[in-house]
């Protein structure tokens, strides 16, 4: 599905710039593709840190939400997410909030433990409330996240001592922007061997494996190989999305080769939600400095974040919309598109092919549905936070956040 494609006048009238629009139809279609490719037996856990604005609107197409902070949990409460869909994760669990969630929602929530201290915190809170909560233990992959294998085995060995927790499985996180199938196979083999060890050594039967895939999502147009014609934006983006399906198919084969026969849930964020987003920003100034054309826009790197953008040298997929109704997806006028921040680093794209760029032209940056609105330096220079909208073909636009004056947050 191509999704939301507004005209220049529609943008000016309905959203203005800078603004985000997240297309729920595109998002649901994406989730359907993922489920259809992996198979209905594989659960999908949406990592809401990638984009919290869509939470609640995709309840029917995701099995769970990964929640990593008290703020994210409050979003789930506000969105009236069924608590049985919540996996309460996070490297830091605050005692006050953990005790509140256990007391309020009893055994509805699935908890993770990323340390021995977290394990005891949740167990003690459950015992205090006279309940037993389900938990998965996160195994570390050599960083600050998760529990060392030795300590994890000690918890499993002594699990009968803990009256507030029912350990149901293991959680493993792979990384970010991954597509190396050899590494995936090694990690899944490790999960298999760990689960087997826990059964043989401690008579623990894991019911569930939650595996964070960190699937790769392509944000940028490919460079033409020597002697080959450059693909159009439509062709290259369609090719990138075909590659997504191939990655899922190959990963599905790896899952089918596992010895583990319990429930498998994949925790996915960026790969799910990136393609549903559009970011709109207007050209507000032009200049020609030292033989280089510059277009200054009312947004910037504090609002648009493409993982892997190196010194603004890569070109994302985009549209250029003009006030006369004309729309372009390229051109012969190359310009450095820079944002509104007072830093030399505020470059969105260098040498961006445009067509006769003029003041008030609007640039639509595609695939901005993940992290742009949450992982950038949004408060730098006290620039206002952009409006955020959800879109559905049947219902139109719905504003989720109005423009926020950032100076109020900075002083």
Handedness of CA 234, 240, 246, 252 (dihedral sign): negative
pLDDT score, position 311 = 76
pLDDT digits (tens, 9 = 90+) for 375-411: 888 999 999 999 999 999 999 999 999 999 999 999 9
In a domain, residue 388? The reply is: yes
Picking from 220, 240, 273, the residue at the C-terminal end of a domain is: 273
Distance, CA of 383 to CA of 362 (rounded, Å)? 19
Token pair 């319990």: residue: 262
| Cβ-based neighbour number of residue 182 at 10 Å | 8
DSSP string, 372-383: TTTSS-TTGGGP
User: Domain containing 97: what range?
Assistant: 39-273
Q: What is the pLDDT of residue 174?
A: 84
> Is residue 305 domain-shared with residue 357, that is, in the same domain?
yes
> Are residues 344 and 366 located together in one domain of the fold?
yes
Considering the domain architecture, whether residues 391 and 283 belong to the same structural domain is answered as yes
Digit-coded pLDDT (tens) for 324-370: 999 999 999 999 999 999 999 999 999 999 999 999 999 999 999 99
Q: Are 325 and 361 in the same domain?
A: yes
The answer to whether residue 147 scores a pLDDT higher than 80 is yes
| Mean pLDDT value of segment 309-321 | 91
Burial readout 65-89 (b: 16 or more C-beta within 10 A, e: otherwise)? bbbbbbebbebbeebebebebbbbb
Domain termination residue (choose one: 251, 273, 295): 273
- Got the DSSP string for 85-112? GEEE--S---HHHHHHHHHHHTTSSEEE
pLDDT exceeds 90 at position 267:
yes
Q: Is the residue at 21 inside a domain? A: no
pLDDT score of 1: 59
Domain count, the chain: 2
> Is 373 inside a domain boundary?
yes
pLDDT bin (cut points 50, 70, 90) of residue 231 is: confident
Same domain? For 375 and 314 the reply is yes
User: Taking residues 269-276, what's their average pLDDT?
Assistant: 97
| Residue 302's CATH number | 2.40.37.10
pLDDT(323) > 90: yes
What's the pLDDT score for residue 364? 98
% of the chain beyond a pLDDT of 90: 93
Any domain includes 206: yes
Write down which residue in 204, 238, 273 finishes a domain.
273
Tell me if 29 is assigned to some domain: no
104: confidence class by pLDDT, cuts 50, 70, 90: very high
pTM (2 decimals)? 0.96
> Mean pLDDT lowest for which of 63-72, 158-167, 309-318?
309-318
Q: Give the three-state DSSP class for 252.
A: helix
Structure tokens at 258: 């596992």
Q: Summarize the confidence of residues 66-92 as an average pLDDT.
A: 97
Claim to verify: residue 329 and residue 378 sit in the same structural domain? yes
Which run of H or of E encompasses 256?
Answer: helix 233-256
* Mean pLDDT value across residues 257-273: 98
DSSP class per residue in 332-358 = SEEEEEE-SSSSTT-EEEEEEEESS--
Looking at the domain assignment, is residue 371 inside a domain?
yes
Length of the chain: 411
From residue 70, alpha-carbon distances to 74, 99, 184, 228, 270 in Å are 6, 12, 31, 51, 21
Q: Is residue 103 part of a domain?
A: yes
Identify the weakest region by mean pLDDT among 137-141, 306-310, 317-321, 393-397: 306-310
Q: Are 67 and 191 members of one domain?
A: yes
55 and 127 assigned to the same domain: yes
Dihedral angle sign, alpha carbons of residues 96, 97, 99, 104: positive
Residue 226 has pLDDT above 90, yes or no: no
Share of the chain above pLDDT 70, in %: 100
16 in any annotated domain: no
**Same-domain status, 308 and 215:** no
Shared-domain flag, residues 261 and 402:
no
Q: What's 117's domain CATH number?
A: 3.20.20.10
Continuous segment of H or E residues that includes residue 153: helix 149-157
281 in the same domain as 268: no
* Cα–Cα distance measured from residue 257 to residue 260, given in angstroms and rounded to the nearest whole number: 9
Q: Are residues 190 and 255 in the same domain?
A: yes
Q: State the average pLDDT for the chain.
A: 96
């Amino acid at each position: 599905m191509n999704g939301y494609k507004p005209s220049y006048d529609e943008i000016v009238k309905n959203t203005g710039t800078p603004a985000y629009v997240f297309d729920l139809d595109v998002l649901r279609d994406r989730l359907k593709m993922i489920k259809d490719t992996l198979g209905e037996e594989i659960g999908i856990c949406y990592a809401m840190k990638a984009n919290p604005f869509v939470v609640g609107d995709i309840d029917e197409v995701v099995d769970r939400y990964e929640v990593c902070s008290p703020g994210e949990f409050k979003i789930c409460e506000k969105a009236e997410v069924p608590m049985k869909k919540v996996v309460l994760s996070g490297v830091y669990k605050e005692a006050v909030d953990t005790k509140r969630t256990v007391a309020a929602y009893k055994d509805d929530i699935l908890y993770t433990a990323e340390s021995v201290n977290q394990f005891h915190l949740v167990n003690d809170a459950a015992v205090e409330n006279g309940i037993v909560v389900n938990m998965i233990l996160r195994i570390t992959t050599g960083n600050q996240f998760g529990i060392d294998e030795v300590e994890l085995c000690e918890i499993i060995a002594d699990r009968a001592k803990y009256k507030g927790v029912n350990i149901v499985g293991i959680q493993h996180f792979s990384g970010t922007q991954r597509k190396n199938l050899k590494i995936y196979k090694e990690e899944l083999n490790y999960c298999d061997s760990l689960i087997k060890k826990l059964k043989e050594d401690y008579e623990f039967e894991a019911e569930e494996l939650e595996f964070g895939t960190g699937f790769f999502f392509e944000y940028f147009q490919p460079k033409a190989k020597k002697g080959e014609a450059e693909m159009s934006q439509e062709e290259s983006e369609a090719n990138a999305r075909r590659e997504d399906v191939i990655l899922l198919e190959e990963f599905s084969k790896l899952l089918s080769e596992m010895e583990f026969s319990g429930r498998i849930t994949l925790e996915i964020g960026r790969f799910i939600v990136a393609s549903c987003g559009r970011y709109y920003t207007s050209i507000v100034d032009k200049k020609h400095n030292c033989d280089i054309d510059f277009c200054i826009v009312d947004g910037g790197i504090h609002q648009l974040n493409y993982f892997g953008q190196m010194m603004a040298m890569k070109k994302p997929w985009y549209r250029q919309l003009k006030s006369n109704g004309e729309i372009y997806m390229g051109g012969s006028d190359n310009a450095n598109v820079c944002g509104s921040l007072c830093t030399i680093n505020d470059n969105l794209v260098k040498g961006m092919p445009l067509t006769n760029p003029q003041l008030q032209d609007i640039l639509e940056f595609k695939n901005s549905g993940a992290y742009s609105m949450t992982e950038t330096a949004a408060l730098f220079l006290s620039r206002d936070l952009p409006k955020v909208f959800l879109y559905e073909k049947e219902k139109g636009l719905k504003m989720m956040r109005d423009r926020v004056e950032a100076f109020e947050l900075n002083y």
